[in-house]
């Protein structure tokens, strides 16, 4: 196949100062939970993106000094010359495929608590760390600022030595010291670095000039800039100081990388923002500079990309999350393989890797984070290691991924599901408010399966033990998922709640199956991810009076890791949901629920027509256990082994289910006997 000429504009080269990008695809800086602790893991991951056609591949935030220690978060470091070799690994991996390597030099100022280094934090002005760390920053003196400019300059020179082609001056998300200088909230100085916007922009201007003088003959200089903090008069706004800063410094850098602040606004989930939502912020920059502009917006549609280019919104298609979901997105557009693109669903499970200080993972791309330690490639999978035939029972995310990966390996696969429509929990959940993009998990895999002649699909085909025995497959994989409990068993309670067996007590599965809700609803959320909040939103759209109760300190607490907790709580408050936090359910009466305060002797009784338990799920492993109990009979029928995957093993995220299915498919027929670990650990060489 060849490229559709409508997309030719996407493959035009772009000059960035002294270097040239081979096309308009730009993987902007994004965290990956690898950083200085796992440089080989990060290098191979970024290198695969270059192989996939991204013309520019950037690091994540790279701290330039020990006074900018963001531990326990695992970012890159360029504190001294000892760090250069780590970065050269990534540069070489990116250059091997003809792409440009970019590094985001950063100092986090008062945002850096310096837990590891125990250095006193510094800031434009003195003040406490904006998080909950019991530390405060001292104000930088003029001499400190001169020394800090020298530190930035040395970092840029080290980046050049490592081979980087583009050096960032990072001034976005209020995580960066230059942004803090620009902020009226964080800068109360009265000298030449405070007061007027020109003064507050002085530090950023000096850093750009210093970088140009230090490495501008060899490296392009990029500025990552926030156009709007999306907090009204309390912060920087696009049509005021946001655009004024760009106008003031318009021609100084070689490229502007534009977004909004803070990170939860910039990387908003698909539940709260559509593709291309940052257009109005990015387009303003193009009006005041001749330098190329990169913008983001969770772009997956080539038509949307082309439209923004032709309308003069931006010059390069910036992406973090879409490049994670499909590192080969540019190559597939270039080759006319649009149907093979794994579109980002905007769930932000990738972001959780940074918050949990672990390698990044992705719902759509199960190879993400496994490129080095397992040797997994997103587009290349080893051929079948045996001639086994495989029967997969259950076409949810685990079963679909397992069938897709096995089919691409060349195995003869049959995928059966009791339901008429494939997709399992993905189909159910994508019908909830804001989650329609999640359907892409099903759609991508089903599209791939329809291209594979060696995979047979059987919807509306409930499988029993006798069916399995009669079928005659060598390998049987059971992916029958999990079901939500309605008995209150969860994190707070490990046994069934008294009274929960009554008919007015429902589970999320009941809601997703279309059970009609009554007028007064109480939701007990002991799950702490998205489901409780989504069910509350759905109930409000039906006009019900809704109270959401949780033992956590806030609603949907785990979604802090996916950058949407604040948006969820704001949405529920706007909808009029009554939010009761730090209450634990004790019992269920006659259309009432009894709760106890988590920290006192107070009790609370809430009347309800329906009580919805969002507490935990239980694996639907009945068929698996039946098969294992009669395994000898199956072996007599020719079945070599019975396995289970995904939620059928243990309930988890959709990403975990997809990964489970992919892992099983990769391992079939492969000899892993004798291995103490299923992957390679990245260890520090203590002999050096």
Taking the CA of residue 75 as centre, how many other CA atoms within 13 Å lie in the half-sphere pointing to its CB? 28
DSSP state of 440: H
3-state helix, strand, coil in the chain (%, to 5): 35, 20, 45
C-alpha to C-alpha distance for 622 and 175, rounded to whole angstroms: 50
C-alpha to C-alpha distance for 182 and 232, rounded to whole angstroms: 16
Is 627 in the active site? no
- N-terminal to C-terminal alpha carbon distance within the chain: 50
C-alpha to C-alpha distance for 361 and 344, rounded to whole angstroms: 12
Q: Are 396 and 424 in contact (CB under 8 A)?
A: yes
In 450-591 the beta strands, taken as DSSP E runs, fall at: 455-458, 475-478, 482-484, 505-506, 520-525, 545-550, 578-581, 583-588
Q: Are 358 and 664 in contact (CB under 8 A)?
A: no
Token pair, residue 178, equals 């230059």
C-alpha to C-alpha distance for 558 and 530, rounded to whole angstroms: 8
User: Annotated catalytic residue: which of 73, 170, 444, 524?
Assistant: 170
HEC string for 144-185: HHHHHHHHHHHHHHHHHHHCCCEEEEEECCCCCHHHHHHCCC
Taking the CA of residue 181 as centre, how many other CA atoms within 13 Å lie in the half-sphere pointing to its CB? 26
Q: Are 356 and 380 in contact (CB under 8 A)?
A: no
Q: Are 19 and 165 in contact (CB under 8 A)?
A: yes
Is 173 in the active site? yes
Q: Are 60 and 18 in contact (CB under 8 A)?
A: no
Q: Are 562 and 573 in contact (CB under 8 A)?
A: no
Q: Is the peptide bond between 262 and the residue preceding it cis, with omega within 30 degrees of 0? A: yes
Helices and strands in the chain, H and E counts: 23, 29
C-alpha to C-alpha distance for 294 and 610, rounded to whole angstroms: 49
User: Annotated catalytic residue: which of 266, 326, 417, 621?
Assistant: 266
Q: Are 390 and 349 in contact (CB under 8 A)?
A: no
User: Annotated catalytic residue: which of 173, 493, 528, 557?
Assistant: 173
- In sequence order, the 6+-apart residues with CB closer than 8 A to the CB of 81 are 158, 161
State residue 137 phi and psi, 5-degree precision: -95, 150
Is 32 in the active site? no
Is 266 in the active site? yes
Please identify which residue in the block is written with the tokens 């946001």: 242
As a residue count, the chain comes to 688
C-alpha to C-alpha distance for 319 and 570, rounded to whole angstroms: 27
Residue 372: Cβ-neighbour burial (10 angstroms; 0-12, 13-18, 19+) = buried
DSSP state of 238: I
- Catalytic residue annotation: 31, 170, 173, 266
């Amino acid at each position: 196949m060849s490229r559709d000429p409508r997309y030719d504009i996407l493959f035009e080269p772009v000059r960035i100062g002294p270097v040239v990008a081979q096309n308009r695809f730009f993987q902007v800086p994004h965290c990956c939970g690898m950083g200085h602790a796992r440089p080989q893991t990060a290098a191979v991951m970024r290198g695969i993106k270059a192989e996939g056609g991204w013309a520019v591949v950037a690091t994540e935030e790279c701290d330039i000094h020990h006074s900018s220690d963001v531990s326990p978060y695992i970012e890159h470091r360029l504190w001294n010359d000892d760090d250069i070799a780590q970065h050269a690994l990534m540069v070489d991996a990116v250059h091997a495929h003809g792409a440009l390597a970019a590094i985001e030099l950063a100092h986090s100022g008062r945002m850096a608590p310096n837990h590891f280094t125990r250095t006193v934090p510094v800031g434009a002005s003195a003040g406490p760390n904006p998080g909950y760390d019991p530390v405060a920053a001292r104000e930088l003196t003029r001499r400190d600022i001169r020394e800090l400019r020298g530190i930035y300059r040395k970092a840029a020179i080290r980046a050049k030595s490592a081979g980087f082609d583009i050096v960032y001056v990072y001034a976005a998300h209020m995580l960066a010291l230059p942004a803090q200088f620009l902020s009226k909230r964080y800068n109360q100085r009265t000298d030449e670095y405070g007061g007027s916007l020109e003064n507050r922009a002085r530090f950023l201007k000096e850093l750009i000039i210093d970088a140009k003088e230090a490495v501008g003959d060899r490296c392009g200089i990029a500025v990552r800039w926030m156009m709007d903090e999306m907090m009204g008069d309390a912060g920087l706004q696009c049509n005021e100081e946001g655009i004024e800063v760009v106008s003031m410094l318009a021609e100084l850098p070689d490229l502007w990388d534009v977004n909004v602040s803070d990170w939860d606004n910039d990387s908003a989930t698909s539940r709260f923002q559509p593709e291309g939502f940052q257009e109005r912020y990015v387009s303003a920059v193009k009006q005041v500079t001749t330098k190329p502009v990169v913008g983001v917006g969770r772009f997956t549609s080539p038509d949307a990309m082309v439209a923004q280019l032709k309308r003069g919104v931006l010059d390069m298609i910036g992406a973090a999350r879409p490049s994670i979901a499909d590192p080969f997105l540019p190559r597939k557009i270039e080759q006319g393989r649009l149907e093979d693109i794994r579109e980002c669903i905007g769930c932000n499970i990738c972001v959780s890797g940074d918050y949990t200080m672990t390698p990044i993972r992705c719902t759509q791309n199960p190879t993400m984070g496994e490129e080095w330690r397992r040797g997994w490639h997103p587009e290349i999978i080893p051929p079948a290691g045996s001639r086994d035939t495989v029967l997969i029972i259950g076409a949810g995310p685990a079963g679909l991924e397992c069938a897709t990966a096995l089919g691409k390996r060349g195995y003869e696969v049959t995928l059966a599901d009791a339901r008429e429509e494939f997709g399992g929990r993905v189909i159910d959940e994508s019908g909830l408010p804001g989650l329609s993009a999640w359907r892409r998990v099903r759609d991508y895999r089903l599209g791939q399966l329809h291209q594979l002649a060696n995979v047979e699909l059987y919807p509306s085909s409930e499988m029993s033990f006798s069916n399995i025995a009669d079928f005659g497959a060598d390998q049987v994989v059971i992916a029958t998922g999990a079901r939500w409990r309605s008995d209150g068993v969860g994190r707070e309670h490990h046994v069934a709640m008294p009274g929960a067996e009554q008919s007015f007590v429902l589970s999320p599965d009941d809601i997703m199956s279309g059970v009609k809700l009554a007028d007064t609803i109480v939701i007990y959320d002991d799950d702490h991810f998205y489901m409780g909040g989504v069910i509350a939103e759905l109930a409000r759209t039906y006009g019900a009076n809704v109270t959401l109760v949780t033992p956590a300190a806030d609603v949907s607490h785990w979604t802090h890791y996916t950058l949407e907790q604040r948006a969820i709580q704001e949405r529920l408050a706007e909808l009029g949901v009554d939010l009761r936090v730090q209450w634990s359910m004790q019992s269920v009466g006659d259309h009432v629920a009894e709760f106890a305060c988590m920290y006192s002797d107070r009790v609370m009784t809430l009347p309800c027509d329906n009580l919805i338990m969002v507490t935990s799920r239980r694996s639907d492993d009945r068929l698996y256990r039946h098969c294992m109990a009669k395994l000898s009979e199956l072996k007599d029928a020719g079945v070599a082994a019975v396995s289970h995957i995904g939620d059928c093993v243990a309930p988890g995220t959709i990403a975990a289910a997809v990964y489970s299915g992919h892992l099983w498919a990769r391992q079939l027929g492969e000899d892993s006997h004798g291995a103490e670990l299923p992957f390679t650990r990245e260890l520090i060489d203590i002999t050096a």
